């Protein structure tokens, strides 16, 4: 029977790491492959550090350096989900009660699937294809006002980065 303490890695699979900066015997002594002098020879420098200059990842917005403070995020609900609910009226409150959206979420109705009955839909946003399908089935669409009114949300109010 094999026991846990008898297990060893197969021959040649584990290679010993280089013992750098342990004297002049062999390679990797003294400067240990760091060259001579300079910032990178002294200590570690973060990846992407450009000597105090604004890093490229922050200069170019699409490369991780920018978060849009005015982004509005909706939770999507498709027509097939509404059809399976068997309710005459669908609103953000009824979707919250059925556990399909989270509390305080903005709801957008999207056009995936089919709807075969008349449903009164209330949502913060509706796609054109979803609106066409709902009205074609004899239902109605009503847009619910956004929490911040007709203006965009204040800088940082719907964003995790509040101190900029």
For residue 156, is pLDDT > 90? Answer: no
pLDDT bucket at 28, cuts 50 / 70 / 90: confident
**Residue 162 has what pLDDT?**
42
Which residues does 89 contact at the CB level (< 8 Å), separation at least 6?
119, 120, 121, 122
Fold of 74-143: Ribosomal Protein L15; Chain: K; domain 2 (3.100.10)
**Domains of the chain, residue spans:** 74-143
Task: Give residue-wise pLDDT tens across range 73-95.
Answer: 999 999 999 999 888 899 999 99
């Amino acid at each position: 029977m094999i026991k846990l303490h008898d297990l060893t890695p197969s021959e040649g699979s584990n290679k010993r790491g280089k013992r750098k900066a342990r004297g002049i015997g062999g390679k990797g002594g003294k400067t240990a492959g760091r060259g001579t002098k300079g910032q990178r020879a002294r200590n570690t420098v973060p990846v992407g550090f450009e000597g105090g200059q604004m890093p490229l990842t922050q200069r170019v917005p699409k490369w991780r350096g920018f978060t849009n403070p005015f982004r509005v995020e909706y939770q999507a609900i498709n027509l097939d989900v509404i059809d399976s609910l068997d309710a005459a009226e669908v609103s953000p409150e009824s979707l919250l009660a059925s556990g399909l959206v989270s509390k305080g979420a903005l709801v957008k109705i999207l056009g995936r699937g089919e709807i075969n009955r008349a449903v009164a839909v209330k949502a913060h946003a509706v796609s054109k294809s979803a609106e066409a399908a709902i009205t074609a089935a004899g239902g109605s669409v009503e847009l619910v006002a956004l929490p911040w009114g007709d203006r965009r949300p204040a800088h940082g109010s719907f964003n995790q980065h509040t101190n900029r």
